[in-house]
Amino acid sequence: MSSLLIYDIAAIAGLAHRRGALVVVDNTFATPYFQQPFELGADIVIHSVTKYLAGHSDLIQGAALAKDPAVFEPVKFLQNATGAVPAPFDCWLTLRGLKTLELRMQRHEENAVAVAQALEHHPLVSRVYFPGLASHPGHDIARKQMTGFGGMVSFELNGSIDEVVAFASSRRYFMLGESLGGVKALLCHPATMTHASIPPEARAELGLSDTLIRLSPGCENSDDLVEDLLHGFAQLEQARESREPSRVAPRREERRAAVTAGAQA
């Protein structure tokens, strides 16, 4: 979810297991480096390997894991029945990415912290979503069950959807893309990209604002990423200022005409 909700896995697992239900955790954003769902009571853990695990935005792959063979048996049966087996080269690319997972995740988090802090008090930002900020509603849970806060940041721009589109499509380091977790920084506008097929009313019920922007800071220098965003805000402010005279000038002309008419009368 683009608002980066945090759930208490241990509490959910306890509740589910008392009722005989299994707990499945998507650990894509956190990765095994920052969060160990099995230790928190999860029965099945899934990953979009495409994202942080592989880490280079050059393959499509997923993974499902389980500790209990009995729990995993139906998953393995479906994999065998449907032939959902990745290509050898894709597996090689994944192994390549795993070798640098620790280093990359450290850098992703460092950059996410820098970006979130730069956004948090900017006048053109109405809200920032990052578990590492004390203002995030899931901050305490994240501190309890994670060893780090991950590399994803989302924020709501204080502006119109047209301004969001202009901002998102004109960045230097943050490239437009629906994926995430790669070494190159990516930016996504859910309302017109990943969630465009969902009606606006449904998005609103989910708390998905049309001005929400999701950031996946890469492994670039944090100063470059922050500057890229601040430059975009400056461009937005300049665009707003350039539109002001077009609204003010007609009113001035109207006042001049009124004064001239009064003098002639």
Q: What is the rounded distance in angstroms from the CA atom of residue 143 to the CA atom of residue 150?
A: 11
pLDDT surpassing 70 at residue 222: yes
Confidence of residue 255 (pLDDT cuts 50, 70, 90): low
DSSP per residue, 8-30: -HHHHHHHHHHTT---EEE-TTT
Query: Amino acid identity, residue 7?
Result: Y
What φ, ψ does residue 211 adopt, rounded to 5°?
Answer: -105, 15
Distances (CA, A) of 151 to 86, 108, 155, 170: 26, 5, 14, 22
Distances (CA, A) of 199 to 1, 167, 206: 16, 23, 11
Cβ–Cβ < 8 Å for 151, 109: yes
pLDDT surpassing 60 at residue 66: yes
Q: What is the rounded distance in angstroms from the CA atom of residue 115 to the CA atom of residue 227?
A: 9
| Domains, the chain, ordered by start | 9-98 (3.40.640.10), 101-242 (3.90.1150.10)
pLDDT tens digits, 149-206: 999 999 999 999 999 999 999 999 999 999 999 999 999 999 999 899 999 889 888 8
Burial grade of 20 (CB within 10 A; 0-12, 13-18, 19 or more)? exposed
pLDDT surpassing 80 at residue 114: yes
